Structure 1
Amino acid sequence: MEKSAKYEREDKASFFGARHVQCFMIFIGLTVAFAQRVNFSVAIVAMTDRNATNPDFEEYAWSEQTKSYLLSGFFWGYFVTQIPGGQLAHKYGGKIMLLLSLGLSSILCMLTPLTARLGDWKLVFALRVVQGLIQGCIFPSTHTLLSKWVPPEERGSIGTFCYTGVQFGSVLMMGISGTIASSSLGWPGIFYTSGLISLLYVIMWYFVGASEPSDFKWISAEEKLYIQSSLVASTKPEEEHVPTKTPWVKILTSVPFLVILIAQSTFAWGFWTMLIQIPSYMKNILKQDIKSNALMSALPYLVNMFLTFAFCGLNNFLIKRNLISIRTSRKLFNTIGFWVPVLPLILLGYLREDQSSLAVGLLVILIGVNSAAYLGFLTNHIDLSPNFAGILMGVANCMANLMGVVAPLLVGFIVTDSKNVNQWRIIFNITAALYFIGNLLFIIFGQVKIQKWNYPKETEQQRDHIKFEPVNVEKEVY
């Protein structure tokens, strides 16, 4: 009777509920956050070439080295606040940290054109650093929210769906930036548009967002019970508020976590190298104007987004049919996302100006298939430690976004002549090698088993006596 009641509860809660609303709002949040990051990659092309867009707006004579500094500026701040961001989200909840981060960042985004007029590239660089500092809470907050809202068996699909906001924001901004820059709004319109949309989202999130199911007044009793009973790391009600101390030494010496850190860093190197440098590569090597440049740069990320949904569906099918375990799923999709792009990356360095269609095809394969990795390392933090998922994401994303600082600077150091395809070839080969190494280590050392340090010492002895309600995913996780 108890077992049948459990499955009846799952059926009532499994189709569509409050957790899906929350995840959709997180998806939109990541969309607007990434729109604010990507906008500068396209805008800087217009800001430094008046003839490429509306000529009625300022043009800045920034060198390639200066542009590299500006493109990396966001990450100088962003990687610094990842770990504090994880701690703050763990302490105050994901909702408030996401709200503050996006709200303040949106205001700075709209101030970008003014800072360029007042202080040239130095003030713009400072603004981008501060904007990065503020946005450092976003990914840790997202992981903290997912650890509270998403049952383990839905983590690969619903959790990954949230992160497609990364691609959607990139597609949206790259797709419309060229048109906005060529309109009467000029290149400043890129910043005004993305900033205003972000502020509208912040207002919606204030009213709809919730840090956990118990904070959301429109959730059904069935769904709330379903989520709480499905979480592998759930505890008895009297234990929920036991003070927890972050086990830093155990986290930083945990091989499964260090493997995630390496995988996330190598993935970030490739992701940001492609995202930031594609507009420049399109303009200088493939000779595309800014309108076609923006659309062609956005196409791979559009494919990436749709393939994410396809990979989520395939993952659900394989797991629900018991064809693969969660452990196999993580490593299989991580391998697709890391190793399939290696060959297209190498080939990109050998293309000529008259092979722009082939280049776009390779970029579509490279960036599109890259999305499979979101079902690999990106949800693995929650597998290892639901209680400290936000903190793990903060640490890993700190190192990963250090790559966002180093990658543009290395590109600026190596690509001294942006029209020289041989110099671009070096960048693509470095990225391919990092992809290969990152996934190889994940295959060998990656785990999905919940780590012992996930549980606070105060409850370890109590936890041994807790009888969890049987959930199918436990068998797969362990």
Structure 2
Amino acid sequence: MEVAKLLCCRNDDEVDQELINTRVSKIGYRHLQMILYFLLMTYTYCMRSVLSVAIVAMNTNTTSPNPNIPHYDWSNQSIVLSSFFWGYAILQLPSALLGKKFGVKWILVGCTMTNSGFCILIPLLAQHWGSTGVIIARFFQGLSQGCVPSLLNNLLGHWAPPSERSVIGTFSYSGAVFGNILALSTTGVISSSWVGWPFAFYLFGSLGIKWVLIWVWLGADRPGQHTGISAAERTYIETSLAYQEHRELHTPWKEILTSLPFWAITLSFVGANWGSSILMTEIPTYLDKILNYDIKSDSVLSAAPYVAMWICSVIFSSVCDMLINKEIFSRGTARKIFSSIGTMVPAVSLGLVGFIPKDRPQLSVALLIINGGVTAGGLCGFQVNHIDLSPNHAGTLMGLTNGLTSVFSIISPLIVQYIVTDQTNQLMWRTVFLITASVYAVTNIFYCIFGSGKVQAWNDPDQDEDEVAILET
């Protein structure tokens, strides 16, 4: 009854927003959903990045003291590592459209169960089918994981009020960072133990299944579908998003595909996908072949940039929302500032890594950690910018962006394999790092010129100016 009264008042433009805000707890069900999104991204990225370290153990005879742990001698490691991204791009957009039409909750259940199941199967497939079996499993993992970002953006469009968007969105996506920390820091230790590398795949696959059970119990597509949310919090969220009763909106394909702010985000994702792919799939090899760290050190050091990134993401997102809410910078300007921090500093640090002598590995590691840390700027920059442009079509925008740019996550490891024909040759690795730095810089310049933080007219052609103003505050 109270919700109906407040919503009615809102429709008559008489909602006392200050009264609503004072009645809403600072910690509510929107933050519970945020934690669920964080855990989803954590376990998803555990299953994505575990192979980056485990593949070293899988091709090394002396890693585990257990003589029964199998090992292989694959010459196509870069192809095995890139195979995840072959499937990653395929369902990005279809999943966004299906989530928009039928709801996200149960699609997400299916995707996560598929991802977890193939993760658990990798040791068995490797044993019987070799690298081909792993490639098949990674393809299907990529296929299912490709649905996650667009579905998550769809959920954030319904649960993240504009004044909290940087924190809620960044914390949710920072689960990807935490997942890399967890997988990269533990996989080497597990691989060197008696249980060996297969246990890492069993562990992270099981965590994904555990998340599904929690999500079925506590997750919801939107505030109005959650049975536990208070009337005040529901009204606060829906009012801040100028919410209207659910209706199927036509997707403005022409307007989206001719929107420069949309393409600015898309180009930023090119740089981010390229850089993160290099950082995730190739740095363990660089640490091993150039800096001569053993697998335990590789595992911990490979995780260190992500530890720095996760810490920075918490700091950056809070500062970003503060700058926007205090009107120190416009939303668009704040997004560009943090996107620039997240791309230009890594461009410089990666460029420098290739010139540091092999006998100064600590300096290289320090720069790689700085690189990882500051890339967190992108999480509260271009990463959440889809929701700024169009809360109604945020999932579709993410599906388009991530789907179109995933090809660069496929290309970058293959380019590494083409350039780095001798993994102990630092000059070859220098070329890889300089190319990555250039991609970072070019894509960020485009974003700074054409990016925007304003709700676009094609978000909802029927929305009046007052509702658009609410979305932009």
The answer to whether the superposition gives a TM-score over 0.5 is: yes
Contact kept, 8 Å, 1:286 with 1:352, in 2: the verdict is: no
Matched residue SS, 2:453: coil
Once the two structures are superposed, what CA deviation does each residue of 1:86-132 show, in whole Å capped at 9, x if it has no partner?
11211222222222111111011000000001111112111111111
Q: Which residue of 2 aligns with 1:418?
A: 423
Contact kept, 8 Å, 1:93 with 1:144, in 2: the verdict is: no
Contact kept, 8 Å, 2:120 with 2:202, in 1: the verdict is: yes
Q: Tell me which of 186, 190, 201 is aligned to 1:191.
A: 201
Q: Which residue of 1 aligns with 2:232?
A: 222
- 121-130 or 312-321, larger mean C-alpha shift: 312-321
How much does 1:3 deviate? 7.3
Contact kept, 8 Å, 2:335 with 2:382, in 1: the verdict is: yes
TM-score by length of 1: 0.93
Q: Which residue of 2 aligns with 1:297?
A: 302
Pairing 1:210-249 to 2, within 5 Å after superposition: 210-232=220-242, 234-235=243-244, 237=245, 240-241=246-247, 243-249=248-254
Structure 2 residue identity aligned to 1:53: S
Q: 1:225 to 1:426 in 2, by over 3 A?
A: same
Q: Which residue of 2 aligns with 1:36?
A: 47
Pairing 1:361-372 to 2, within 5 Å after superposition: 361-372=366-377
User: Sequence identity, in percent?
Assistant: 38
Pairing 1:51-70 to 2, within 5 Å after superposition: 51-54=62-65, 56=67, 57-63=69-75, 66-70=76-80
Q: Which residue of 2 aligns with 1:207?
A: 217
Contact kept, 8 Å, 1:95 with 1:145, in 2: the verdict is: no
Contact kept, 8 Å, 2:333 with 2:453, in 1: the verdict is: no
Structure 2 residue identity aligned to 1:361: A
Structure 2 residue identity aligned to 1:261: T
Q: Tell me which of 91, 103, 123 is aligned to 1:113.
A: 123
- 42-51 or 93-102, larger mean C-alpha shift: 93-102
Matched residue SS, 2:371: helix
Matched residue SS, 2:135: helix
Q: Which residue of 1 aligns with 2:378?
A: 373
Structure 1 residue identity aligned to 2:70: E
Which 4+ runs in 1 deviate beyond 6 A? Answer: 1-4
Once the two structures are superposed, what CA deviation does each residue of 1:216-262 show, in whole Å capped at 9, x if it has no partner?
10000000000000004x23x3xx32x32222222112111111111
Q: Which residue of 2 aligns with 1:402?
A: 407
Q: Tell me which of 443, 447, 452 is aligned to 2:452.
A: 447
Q: 1:315 to 1:467 in 2, by over 3 A?
A: closer
Q: Whole-Å Cα distance in 2 between the matches of residues 351 and 400 of structure 1?
A: 31
Matched residue SS, 1:160: helix
Structure 1 residue identity aligned to 2:457: K
Q: Which residue of 2 aligns with 1:353?
A: 358
Q: 1:355 to 1:112 in 2, by over 3 A?
A: same
How much does 1:179 deviate? 1.1
Contact kept, 8 Å, 2:122 with 2:133, in 1: the verdict is: no
Q: Which residue of 2 aligns with 1:13?
A: 24
- 351-360 or 276-285, larger mean C-alpha shift: 351-360
Contact kept, 8 Å, 1:175 with 1:294, in 2: the verdict is: yes
Matched residue SS, 1:375: coil
Q: 1:374 to 1:122 in 2, by over 3 A?
A: same
How much does 1:319 deviate? 2.2
Q: Which residue of 1 aligns with 2:331?
A: 326
Q: Tell me which of 273, 289, 292 is aligned to 1:287.
A: 292
Q: Whole-Å Cα distance in 2 between the matches of residues 54 and 13 of structure 1?
A: 56
* RMSD, aligned CA: 1.7
Q: Tell me which of 435, 438, 444 is aligned to 1:430.
A: 435
**Correspondence 1:164 to 2:164:** no
Q: Which residue of 2 aligns with 1:258?
A: 263
Matched residue SS, 2:194: coil
Q: 1:185 to 1:221 in 2, by over 3 A?
A: same
Q: Tell me which of 103, 107, 110 is aligned to 1:97.
A: 107
Pairing 1:39-50 to 2, within 5 Å after superposition: 39-50=50-61
TM-score by length of 2: 0.94
Instruction: Give the unaligned 5+ runs of structure 2.
Output: 1-8
Matched residue SS, 2:131: helix
Q: Which residue of 1 aligns with 2:276?
A: 271
Instruction: Give the unaligned 5+ runs of structure 1.
Output: none
Matched residue SS, 2:360: helix
How much does 1:449 deviate? 1.8
Contact kept, 8 Å, 1:81 with 1:133, in 2: the verdict is: yes
Q: Whole-Å Cα distance in 2 between the matches of residues 373 and 14 of structure 1?
A: 29
Pairing 1:131-146 to 2, within 5 Å after superposition: 131-146=141-156
Q: Whole-Å Cα distance in 1 between the matches of residues 323 and 469 of structure 2?
A: 21
Q: Whole-Å Cα distance in 2 between the matches of residues 470 and 415 of structure 1?
A: 52
Q: Tell me which of 335, 342, 351 is aligned to 2:340.
A: 335
Q: Whole-Å Cα distance in 1 between the matches of residues 23 and 195 of structure 2?
A: 49
Structure 1 residue identity aligned to 2:38: F
Contact kept, 8 Å, 2:330 with 2:453, in 1: the verdict is: no
Matched residue SS, 1:108: helix
Matched residue SS, 1:217: coil
**Correspondence 1:151 to 2:156:** no
Contact kept, 8 Å, 1:53 with 1:290, in 2: the verdict is: no
Structure 1 residue identity aligned to 2:122: T
Q: Whole-Å Cα distance in 1 between the matches of residues 65 and 450 of structure 2?
A: 52
Q: How many residues are paired up?
A: 461
Contact kept, 8 Å, 1:34 with 1:166, in 2: the verdict is: yes
Contact kept, 8 Å, 1:52 with 1:289, in 2: the verdict is: no
Contact kept, 8 Å, 1:229 with 1:469, in 2: the verdict is: no
Structure 2 residue identity aligned to 1:222: A
